[in-house]
Amino acid sequence: MNKEKVNRVVIVGTGAVGCSYAYSLINQGVVEELVLIDINEAKAEGEVMDLNHGVPFAPSPIKVWSGSYQDCANADLVVITAGLAQKPGETRLQLVEKNTRIFKQIIKEIMKSGFNGIFLVATNPVDILTYITWKESGLPKERVIGSGTVLDSARLRFELGKYFNVDTRNIHAIIIGEHGDTELPVWSHAKIGIENLDDVLERKKDLKKECLEEIFVNVRDAAYHIIERKGATYYGIGMSLVRITKAILKNENSILTVSSYLEGEYGQNDVYIGVPAKLNRNGVHEIIEIELNEKEQEQFNYSVSVLKDTMKSVI
């Protein structure tokens, strides 16, 4: 009897990010099987019990259980949210050594299961930990992906939507670079609806170009503001991970600013960093290389150099 293929996602780490992602996956009916793994097995079991009580209200059937690394063997996607969280006043890059040690052990256990799907990394510093995952797993670069600047780009679209009084879904603007303090907005390609950003600013005299820098700073520092107030960020990244998951599992060929491995694109090599990439069932199908202006290219080069300098201590 032929068994119909189902999509299985394994989440490693049942902290606030992992559980926000799981909750969003169930609410949006993205997968048929969802496995939660945590070093604290009782925590994973409790989260699964709670989530399963919401399954009757989900848009489509889903089987959710707490499992082990053996469940990765048949997984289409393993999403890693485990690791130490960013503390108030701590940068994402300061987490690197602690979370690298944790990751090396996790990847080793996953690969022992015979996993041959796609990795999606969310733990910070996400660009460096995605590189570690690629190196430790031995999987092709296109099948190891980081959440990159998908959330940062969403934050930018939200803030621009507020400023221009336009539905945020009609804002087309991205953040690229490190998911962190050296990220940059690509103003040269930003559109409000179908108009270039500069054209809108020229037409609407009450809107000021100078406000764009303040908008970007609020986006760049959003995590610090949220952590200061509530201790952690998780809803936004949880929904960002679902968006990436849908692009992959539904073979969408959607373009999202994920952390991808560069081999000459944007003049850079041997680094994982947030750039626009086309995602489908094979992972990163293509890196979209847009033309940056001189300032943007300089900022991007600087972002790469900071990541590479930080990586020296763990590679």
User: Quick check: 62 and 33 in contact, CB under 8 A?
Assistant: yes
User: Helices 41-52 and 16-28 meet at what angle, rounded to 10?
Assistant: 30
For each of the chain's 315 residues, which pLDDT tens digit applies? 345 679 999 999 999 999 999 999 999 999 999 999 999 999 999 999 999 999 999 999 999 999 999 999 999 999 999 998 777 777 767 778 889 999 999 999 999 999 999 999 999 999 999 999 999 999 999 999 999 999 999 999 999 999 999 999 999 999 999 999 999 999 999 999 999 999 999 998 888 888 999 999 999 999 999 999 999 999 999 999 999 999 999 999 999 999 999 999 999 999 999 999 999 999 999 999 999 999 999 999 999 999 999 998 887
**Distance, C-alpha 310 to centroid of its chain:** 20
Secondary structure class of 262 (helix, strand, coil): strand
**Residue in the structure block whose two tokens are 């660009």:** 127
Long-range contacts of 155-163 (CB under 8 A, 24+ apart): 155/219, 155/222, 155/236, 156/185, 156/215, 156/216, 156/219, 159/215, 159/218, 159/219, 160/190, 160/192, 160/215, 163/207, 163/211, 163/215
Please count the other Cβ atoms lying within 10 Å of the Cβ belonging to residue 157. 22
Nearest CA-CA partner of 11 in 98, 19, 46, 52: 19
Residue 112 to residue 81: CA distance in whole angstroms: 19
Kindly state the tokens that stand for 246: 């849908």
Relative to beta strand 33-37, strand 63-66 is parallel
CA distance 94 to 68: 29
Q: Decide if 179 is catalytic.
A: yes
Helical packing angle, 150-164 and 211-220, nearest 10°: 140
Q: Measure the CA–CA gap between 72 and 96, rounded to whole angstroms.
A: 25
Strands, DSSP E only, in the chain? 8-12, 33-37, 63-66, 77-80, 118-121, 144-146, 171-172, 175-176, 184-185, 191-192, 195-196, 254-263, 269-280, 283-287
Which sign does the torsion angle of CA 233, 261, 257, 311 carry? Answer: positive
For residue 144, the model assigns a pLDDT of 98
How far does Cα 236 stand from its chain's mean position? 10
First to last CA, the chain: 47
Q: How far apart are CA 121 and CA 128, in angstroms?
A: 10
Catalytic residue among 53, 172, 179, 225, which? 179
Residue 2: predicted pLDDT: 41
CA distance 120 to 305: 23
pLDDT at 97: 85
Rounded-to-10 torsion of CA 285, 238, 113, 47: -160
In whole angstroms, give the CA distance from residue 236 to residue 121.
Answer: 15
Angle (CA) 180-108-92 rounded to 5° is: 10
Q: What is the pTM of this model?
A: 0.95
**What per-residue confidence (pLDDT) applies to 86?**
72
CA–CA gap between residue 67 and residue 70 (Å, rounded): 8
CA distances from residue 285 to 243, 254, 314 in whole angstroms, order as listed: 16, 10, 28
